């Protein structure tokens, strides 16, 4: 058999009129006689950093006693049944729970800063840096975890990184307690003085990922005519199929089906929102669903699609706002999010807030499973992804930043084993866990934020006996 080593370039794309679509990794992109495993090994790790704001019921005294967030046992034999993490039980081999870490950088350092936790915390989550108190343009925090990594791998992809959100981020000027609104609007900072804007509208994300339409008018015309971006790619698709084998054709078809399905869902949302019917979110962009769950899942699908086709390897995703009054009917709790978080140490209200925490966590498996189903080399995209999920707040009732929720998912190219609960020593900075996360994605930083040493995210602790935290 003659082996020519001819193959498609990894950056091969489909092109049509006003449309460019990146491709998933195909067998035809692997040089002849090169093992899939070797190809997967050199694939760069993706990073998705997700902030679920305003702490957890499990960080209260009652929540700690009843293991409402982290499990009682450390090591590998942990039980998620009583906790808000129970929805992740079927994926336990892919998650690493780190409990009992603090965000001292989110605390008030001076008297004027007291009370400003809502407007400080989000800026601290991924930077682990204490924000400068200002209502002007002279904001300052630190470079965020996602942007440190984007600085290393961003030049290798069409889009260096993307920043997404669910709630409105259209505030300007000062918020409260002497803090600029940008501190609570964004979790991603390009450097100490540059917070990055977050995108709320799935349509905007879709158009940026696929370069849809040369102009805003072309994009609007395509939507009016109910055309798919794939209509402009058919010639390129047909040409591509003459160069690839049967397995690649199926993978290409599956990928294009995913693109079309996501596009169809966005079009359906836009059709309803422009119909004149009453909306639950009347001020939201036309592409934003009224349903929180639908919105989150669309954003997760877009991230997964971008990861699978290597359009970008870095996302930051802000899933709410501290002071959101949103009600989540699926939880059975009729109280708005922020009011529910102020439980006044009442056990019944703590249990209600825990239901909201559990609901938010229940959306995460959708993303993890999506990545797990995407083949890449001899493994999956999940094998080559690190997902960070956590909050910069501990017990929201008292606005503290102790025992903050944190977990990781995925395997970071094999660097993160998963299936583990690590309980940090009292007073350990969350930055210590983030420092090792940076190491797991191939960074060699010796410090991050207020870290005083890295937590080994693969270390199995000596005790696995159940012990309430």
* pLDDT band, very low/low/confident/very high, at 13 (cuts 50, 70, 90): confident
pLDDT at 168: 86
Do 244 and 172 share a structural domain? no
Higher pLDDT among residues 28 and 222, named by residue: 28
Q: Taking 90 as the threshold, does the pLDDT of residue 287 lie above it? A: yes
Give the domain-ending residue among 287, 318, 350.
Answer: 287
Q: Which of 25-39, 256-270, 289-303, 395-409 has the lowest mean pLDDT?
A: 25-39
For residue 461, tell me if it sits in a domain: no
Q: Taking 60 as the threshold, does the pLDDT of residue 100 lie above it? A: yes
> Can you give the CATH number for the domain in which 354 is found?
3.40.720
Q: Give me the mean pLDDT over the 342-358 stretch.
A: 97
pLDDT at 117: 93
pLDDT at 5: 46
Do 152 and 88 share a structural domain? yes
Cβ burial 419-449 (10 Å sphere, 16+ → b, else e): bbbbbbeeebbbbbbbbbbbbbbeeeeeebb
Residue with tokens 């909050």: 391
pLDDT at 220: 62
pLDDT at 34: 56
pLDDT at 461: 76
pTM of the model: 0.91
pLDDT at 43: 65
Q: Taking 50 as the threshold, does the pLDDT of residue 464 lie above it? A: no
Mean pLDDT, the chain, integer: 89
Residues 244, 37, 313, 431, Cα dihedral to 10°: 170
Q: Which of 42-56, 144-158, 445-459 has the lowest mean pLDDT?
A: 42-56
d(CA 316, CA 127): 12
Other C-beta atoms within 10 Å of 262: how many? Answer: 21
Q: Which of 38-47, 146-155, 273-282, 368-377 has the lowest mean pLDDT?
A: 38-47
Question: Do 51 and 391 form a contact (C-beta atoms < 8 A)?
Answer: yes
Higher pLDDT among residues 432 and 28, named by residue: 432
pLDDT at 51: 97
Q: Taking 80 as the threshold, does the pLDDT of residue 128 lie above it? A: yes
pLDDT at 177: 92
Other C-beta atoms within 10 Å of 27: how many? Answer: 16
Q: Which of 29-33, 131-135, 207-211, 450-454 has the lowest mean pLDDT?
A: 29-33
Pairing of strands 189-191, 46-51: unpaired
For residue 429, tell me if it sits in a domain: yes
Do 392 and 255 share a structural domain? no
For residue 100, tell me if it sits in a domain: yes
pLDDT at 218: 59
For residue 358, tell me if it sits in a domain: yes
Q: Taking 70 as the threshold, does the pLDDT of residue 46 lie above it? A: yes
Q: Taking 60 as the threshold, does the pLDDT of residue 95 lie above it? A: yes
Do 81 and 179 share a structural domain? yes
Do 239 and 136 share a structural domain? no
Q: Give me the mean pLDDT over the 105-128 stretch.
A: 95
Residue 288, phi-psi category: left (phi > 0), alpha (psi -120 to 50), beta (remainder): beta
Helices marked H in 323-457: 337-341, 347-362, 364-372, 430-440
Q: Taking 90 as the threshold, does the pLDDT of residue 15 lie above it? A: no
Do 280 and 322 share a structural domain? no
Q: Taking 60 as the threshold, does the pLDDT of residue 219 lie above it? A: no
d(CA 38, CA 30): 10
Dihedral pair phi/psi, residue 50, rounded to 5°:
-115, 125
Do 353 and 262 share a structural domain? no
* pLDDT band, very low/low/confident/very high, at 7 (cuts 50, 70, 90): low
For residue 277, tell me if it sits in a domain: yes
For residue 454, tell me if it sits in a domain: no
pLDDT at 441: 97
Do 67 and 27 share a structural domain? no
pLDDT at 243: 82
Do 241 and 107 share a structural domain? no
Do 245 and 117 share a structural domain? no
254: which residues sit within 8 A by CB, 6+ positions away?
A: none
Q: What percent of the chain has pLDDT over 90?
A: 72
Q: What percent of the chain has pLDDT over 70?
A: 88
Domain count, the chain: 2
pLDDT at 41: 45
Higher pLDDT among residues 163 and 244, named by residue: 163
For residue 363, the enclosing domain spans 35-200+288-440
Do 137 and 10 share a structural domain? no
Do 273 and 259 share a structural domain? yes
pLDDT at 242: 81
Read off the tokens for 328: 């989540």
For residue 361, tell me if it sits in a domain: yes
Q: Is 211 helix (H, G, I), strand (E, B) or coil?
A: coil
Give the domain-ending residue among 287, 303, 325.
Answer: 287
Q: Give me the mean pLDDT over the 358-385 stretch.
A: 95
pLDDT tens by residue, 142-165: 999 999 999 999 999 999 999 999
Q: Which of 112-121, 223-232, 409-418 has the lowest mean pLDDT?
A: 223-232
Q: Give me the mean pLDDT over the 254-264 stretch.
A: 90
d(CA 89, CA 111): 43
For residue 206, tell me if it sits in a domain: no
Q: Give me the mean pLDDT over the 278-284 stretch.
A: 90
């Amino acid at each position: 058999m003659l082996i020519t080593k001819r193959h498609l370039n990894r950056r091969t794309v489909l092109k049509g009129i006003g449309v460019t679509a990146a491709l998933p990794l195909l067998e035809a992109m692997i040089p002849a006689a090169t093992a899939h495993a070797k190809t997967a090994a050199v694939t760069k790790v993706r990073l998705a950093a997700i902030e679920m704001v305003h702490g957890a019921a499990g960080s209260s005294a009652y929540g700690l006693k009843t293991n409402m967030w982290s499990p009682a046992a450390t090591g590998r034999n942990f039980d998620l049944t009583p906790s808000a993490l129970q929805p992740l039980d079927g994926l336990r081999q892919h998650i690493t729970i780190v409990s009992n870490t603090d965000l001292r950088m989110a605390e008030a350092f001076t008297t004027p800063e007291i009370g400003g936790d809502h407007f400080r915390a989000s800026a601290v989550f991924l930077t682990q840096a204490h924000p400068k108190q200002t209502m002007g343009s002279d904001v300052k925090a630190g470079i965020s975890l996602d942007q440190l990594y984007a600085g290393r791998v961003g030049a290798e992809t069409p889009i260096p990184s993307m920043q997404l959100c669910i709630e409105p981020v259209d505030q300007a000027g000062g918020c409260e307690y002497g803090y600029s609104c940008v501190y609570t609007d964004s979790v991603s900072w390009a450097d100490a003085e540059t917070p990055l804007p977050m995108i709320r509208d799935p349509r905007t994300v879709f158009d940026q990922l696929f370069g849809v339409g040369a102009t805003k008018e072309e994009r609007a015309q395509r939507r009016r005519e109910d055309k798919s971006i794939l209509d402009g790619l058919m010639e390129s698709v047909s040409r591509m199929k003459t160069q690839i084998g049967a397995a690649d054709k199926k993978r290409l078809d599956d990928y294009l089906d995913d693109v079309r399905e996501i596009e169809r869902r966005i079009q359906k949302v836009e059709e309803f929102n422009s119909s004149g019917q009453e909306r639950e979110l009347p001020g939201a962009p036309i592409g934003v669903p009224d349903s929180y769950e639908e919105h989150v899942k669309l954003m997760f699908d877009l991230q997964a699609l971008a990861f699978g086709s290597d359009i970008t390897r870095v996302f930051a995703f802000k899933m709410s706002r501290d002071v959101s009054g949103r009600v989540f009917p699926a939880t059975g709790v009729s109280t708005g999010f922020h009011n529910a978080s102020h439980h006044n140490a009442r056990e019944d209200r703590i249990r209600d807030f825990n239901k909201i925490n559990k609901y938010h966590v229940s959306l995460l498996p959708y993303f993890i499973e999506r990545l797990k189903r995407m083949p890449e080399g001899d493994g999956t995209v999940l094998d080559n992804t690190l997902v960070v999920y956590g909050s910069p707040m501990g017990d929201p009732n008292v606005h503290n930043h102790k025992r903050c929720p944190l977990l990781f998912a995925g395997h970071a190219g094999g660097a993160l084993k998963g299936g583990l609960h690590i309980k940090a020593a009292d007073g350990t900075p969350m930055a210590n866990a983030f420092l090792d996360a940076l190491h797991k994605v191939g960074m060699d930083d010796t410090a991050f934020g207020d870290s005083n040493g890295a937590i080994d995210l693969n270390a199995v602790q000596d005790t696995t006996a159940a012990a309430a935290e």
